[in-house]
């Protein structure tokens, strides 16, 4: 049997997971209160927007439950087990895919809002391409984690992770800049908002 991992190493590595899961739980409660506010304030909103909100809350619930399961596995079930710590267990791909689904839905919704404001389909095509590239990169990185579970094999997913993070960051920035640019040029009919 392999020697147990020193407690100070576990505290550094797993303490971050524990604190992150607590923050995730608190933010999920904030999401639930905001969703409730949305449901109460806009009961007649378009059905596809309500369905998207419900889907996103479901994905976020899976991600939050998965974060708690990950912390439980590391801190209770497999505490100090070096064999368990040497592999990426099943919670890692679930985390990655829930994030990918959440991000692509958010990107597509914001791109939709951009198209409604601008009617600029060329820029929207570029934004969709960046969002899809990020999703594919995340999916391939997740597939790599499933295929190569040992932490020693982490470098095998470096290319996919780089594509994922670069495209996702580029999509975030480009969508934000595009929306800001369009919103700066919107003419308001309200006298208090005119410059």
The per-residue pLDDT for range 154-163, each reduced to its tens digit, is 788 889 999 9
Tell me 78's DSSP state: T
Smallest CA-to-CA distance from 77 within 102, 68, 167, 109 is with 68
* Contact predicate 134/164, CB 8 Å: yes
Residue predicted with more confidence, 8 or 104? 104
Tell me 172's DSSP state: H
The predicted pLDDT at position 193 comes to 57
Stated as kind and residue range, the H or E segment containing 132 is helix 121-147
Per-chain mean pLDDT for the chain: 88
Whether the per-residue pLDDT at 85 is higher than 80: the answer is no
Query: Which sequence spans correspond to the domains of the chain?
Result: 1-86, 91-195
Summarize pLDDT for 20-55 with one digit per residue, the tens: 899 999 999 999 999 999 999 999 999 999 999 999
Distance CA 38, CA 50 (A): 9
Q: Residue 87 pairs with which residues in a beta bridge?
A: 150
Q: What are phi and psi of 87, to 5 degrees?
A: -125, 160
* Contact predicate 144/160, CB 8 Å: yes
The predicted pLDDT at position 10 comes to 64
Summarize pLDDT for 89-147 with one digit per residue, the tens: 888 899 999 999 999 999 999 999 999 999 999 999 999 999 999 999 999 999 988 88
Distance CA 159, CA 169 (A): 15
Q: Is 74 exposed, middle or buried (0-12, 13-18, 19+ CB in 10 A)?
A: buried
Whether the per-residue pLDDT at 7 is higher than 70: the answer is no
The predicted pLDDT at position 150 comes to 81
The predicted pLDDT at position 18 comes to 86
């Amino acid at each position: 049997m392999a020697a147990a991992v020193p407690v100070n190493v576990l505290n550094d590595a797993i303490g971050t997971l524990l604190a992150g899961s607590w923050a995730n739980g608190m933010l999920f409660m904030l999401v639930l209160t905001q969703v409730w506010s949305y449901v109460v304030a806009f009961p007649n909103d378009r059905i596809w927007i309500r369905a998207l909100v419900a889907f996103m809350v479901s994905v976020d619930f899976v991600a939050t439950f998965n974060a708690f399961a990950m912390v439980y596995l590391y801190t209770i079930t497999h505490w100090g087990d070096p064999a368990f710590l040497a592999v990426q267990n099943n919670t890692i791909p679930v985390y990655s895919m829930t994030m990918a689904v959440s991000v692509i839905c958010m990107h597509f919704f914001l791109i939709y809002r951009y198209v409604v404001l601008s009617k600029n389909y060329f820029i929207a095509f570029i934004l969709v391409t960046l969002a899809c590239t990020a999703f594919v990169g995340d999916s391939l990185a997740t597939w790599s984690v499933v295929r190569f579970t040992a932490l020693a094999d982490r470098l095998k997913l470096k290319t996919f992770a780089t594509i994922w993070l670069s495209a996702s960051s580029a999509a975030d920035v480009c969508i934000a800049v595009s929306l800001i640019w369009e919103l700066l040029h919107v003419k308001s009919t309200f006298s208090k908002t005119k410059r």
